[in-house]
Amino acid sequence: ETGVTQSPTHLIKTRGQQVTLRCSSQSGHNTVSWYQQALGQGPQFIFQYYREEENGRGNFPPRFSGLQFPNYSSELNVNALELDDSALYLCASSPVQGAMTGELFFGEGSRLTVL
């Protein structure tokens, strides 16, 4: 059984650029959520996707957007990057029942540095 995989693992961007992060969910999982983890902090919920629709969103501006594809993989897009966007971005998948109870399966993350 393949777990949650994320790409790229590391990337460097400059302020104002745009970035796309990708996530493949664990086999059989149809719900994907994204988190931002700043250094020394806990993960902050960005949004969740189920059946290709966003069905939950944290306190992040609209320049953070996402997609979920029919195979349940997902993308996180961040426009107009700011220095404070530098963080580890985590993807988590779950079967729908797990999403309802908060049981998440995390990838190892994509570390974004904004210069």
Partner 1 sequence: GDSVTQMEGPVTLSEEAFLTINCTYTATGYPSLFWYVQYPGEGLQLLLKATKADDKGSNKGFEATYRKETTSFHLEKGSVQVSDSAVYFCALHTGNQFYFGTGTSLTVIP
List interacting residues with partner 1 (CB under 8 A): 3-4, 33, 35, 40-45, 48, 55-56, 58, 90, 92, 99, 101-109
- How far apart CA 14 and CA 73 sit, in angstroms, is 26
In this complex, which beta carbon is closest to partner 1, that of residue 66 or of residue 107?
107
In this complex, which beta carbon is closest to partner 1, that of residue 34 or of residue 72?
34
Strands 5-7, 10-13: pairing is unpaired
Shortest distance (Å) from residue 11 CB to partner 1: 18
Shortest distance (Å) from residue 58 CB to partner 1: 7
58 three-class SS: coil
Closest CA to 90 of 41, 23, 27: 23
Shortest distance (Å) from residue 113 CB to partner 1: 19
In this complex, which beta carbon is closest to partner 1, that of residue 6 or of residue 81?
6
Which run of H or of E encompasses 50?
A: strand 44-50
